[in-house]
Amino acid sequence: MPRRIEIYDTTLRDGAQGARVKFSAEDQLRVVKALDNFGIQYIEGGQPGSNPKAVELFERARDLDLKHAKMCAFGSTRYAKSAVEDDENIKALLSAGTEIVTIFAKSSITQVTEVLRIPLDENLLIIEESVAYLKSQKRRVFLDGEHFFDGYFEDSSYALAAMEAGRRAGAEIVIPCDTNGGRLPWEIAEAVRALQKKLPGTPIGIHTHNDCGCGVANSLQAVLEGAVQVQGTINGYGERTGNANLCTIIPAIQLKMGLEVVTPDQLRGLTHLSNLVAELANINPREFDAFVGRDSFTHKGGMHADAVRKLKSSYEHIDPSLVGNLTTIPVSEVSGRSSLLQKAEELGITLDRDRPETRAILQKVKDLESQGYEFEGADASLELLIRRGTGACPKFFTLDGFHVSITGRDADHPPLSEATVKLFLPDGRRIHTAAEGHGPVDALDKALRKSLEETYPELKHLVLEDYKVRILDSQSATRAKTRVLIESRSGADTWYTVGVSENIIAASCEALVDSIEYLLVQSQVAKSAVPRVASPVH
């Protein structure tokens, strides 16, 4: 049996200290459930005495039927001027009602003398008394050695003595911390070896931060040296530059180092877990993140795409399905026919490499991207372009024109936006509709759907989820081209469409029309096969 590495997640405590990370009370519970479902062994819920939200989380978490994880309360050793049984922080830790309590202790001489401002021997006594008292209250105790690595290279004997004090009092595991994130892998290795020599047979963990960009590397180095527990956060969220990223560490340990962390089925949920936590934290997922990023297995260059089509391992270090991700071959200005063929294959469309329409579609993509279109992030618009180019896209409607007006009002009333659209349906009917909205794009969206919902009732479930605008040539000032990317949703399905124009409303309209047509195509596909209707590439 391979050595099993335990994962201790601190997303809801350390991760929540990230500058833009925001979890509501309900979000916290969803994160706990997701981490448990994934197979995380320990979930740090935060400091129960620090804020009401942490107290609420521990109270509500008691009612959760967790299958894999145990909740952990986190806090400091007793204060220097408090008796351990009367210490408010220790009382708060016990009030959380968790089986496991993680306490952090100063293990750096500088931290003890300059921050705590107490004698060195007193700090060791505080550590020992705090651990011993929590053990007497039937708690399992994990000891985080705060600033351990800095302390080790400052005075190794004292840093090791601090960890020894906690172990002597009954700490189940000692976790040296690179609190400032400034150490490098070979320094981690040296200090972990010394700790093992000082405390033979003691389980050792690792807790690193990413201030030198080495959070993951330092964690893996500690595991290589024998650490059995890794602490970190989903997506590497955390204060300053973040904590060690568990979404990189977990697959690296399991797939690269051959050590057991979670089951293969659980590992396949990693990309979903990463995206879910990002959504709950109100942070856009990083598309370039290792293993779980949208672009982790994206091959844009024509030669690379062709090689991956023939032999995936040419440019992929693992099978992306192992972590729940996908190979993506975007079609862009640097792509060749192989990219287009693979993309069409993903869409269930058969293209012949040497047929004129294949070359025409690829040329159209390149022409549009030279004008500022970006199909890498707008798969729905790309699919429509391919279907139109092969005659595999029915004409659901033809937009005959639109008009948007904004009526200014006084400071107490926001401007009123109204949009009018004219379009033709396949049966020849001409529809002329107007709608009001909170802004010009909202009004245009409502007018389009109002015109079409009677004929295509599935549009009633269409939601405009997100709207992004990018100025492509800012030197042109008010005449600059604008690229609009729209995220739309219907039920559980999400898709992206793009429009480009010197007129932001025209670009928005183009992306909106694509969004509507994409939903209608998918609805047709779900019912049957999309009929092949001749349509020029446009």
Kindly list the strands in the beta sheet with 493-501, ordered across the sheet, starting from the edge strand earlier in the chain: 463-471, 482-490, 493-501
Computed on alpha carbons and rounded to an integer, the radius of gyration of the chain in Å comes to: 29
Strands 398-407 and 416-424: antiparallel
Strands in 121-255 per DSSP E: 140-146, 173-178, 205-208, 229-232
* Domain residue ranges of the chain, discontinuous segments joined by +: 6-281, 302-362, 398-527
| SS3 per-residue string spanning 142-175 | EEEEECHHHHHHHCHHHHHHHHHHHHHCCCCEEE
CATH H superfamily, domain 6-281: Aldolase class I (3.20.20.70)
Strands 229-232 and 205-208: parallel
Which residue, among 15, 17, 8, 26, has the nearest Cα to 71 in the 3D structure? 8
149, 138 contact by CB (below 8 A): no
* pLDDT value of residue 535: 32
CA distance 346 to 298: 14
CATH number of 398-527: 3.30.160.270
463: helix, coil or strand? strand
* φ, ψ (nearest 5 deg) of residue 370: -70, -20
Per-position pLDDT tens, the chain of length 538: 467 999 999 999 998 888 888 888 888 888 999 999 999 999 999 888 667 778 888 888 888 889 999 999 999 999 998 999 999 999 999 999 999 999 999 999 999 999 999 999 999 999 999 999 999 999 999 999 999 999 999 999 999 999 999 999 999 999 999 999 999 999 999 999 999 999 999 999 999 999 999 999 999 999 999 999 999 999 999 999 999 999 999 999 999 999 999 999 999 999 989 988 887 887 878 888 999 988 777 766 555 555 555 555 556 788 888 998 877 666 554 555 565 676 677 667 777 777 787 778 878 877 887 787 777 667 788 888 888 887 778 889 999 999 999 887 666 777 888 999 999 999 999 999 999 988 899 999 999 999 999 999 999 999 888 888 877 765 656 667 888 888 888 887 888 898 998 888 999 999 999 999 999 988 887 766 444 333 333 3
CA distance 481 to 484: 10
| H or E, element range at 485 | strand 482-490
**How would you label 458-477 residue by residue, b for 16+ Cβ within 10 Å and e otherwise?**
bbeebebeebeeeeeeeeee
How far separated are the first and last CA of the chain, in Å rounded? 59
Q: Tokens 């740090």 map to which residue?
A: 44
CA distances from 184 to 230, 355, 524 (A): 17, 55, 56
* pLDDT value of residue 104: 95
Give 251's Cβ-side CA count (13 Å radius): 26
List residues bridging with 105 in a β-sheet: 145
**Burial zone of 280 (CB within 10 Å; 0-12 exposed, 13-18 middle, 19+ buried):** buried
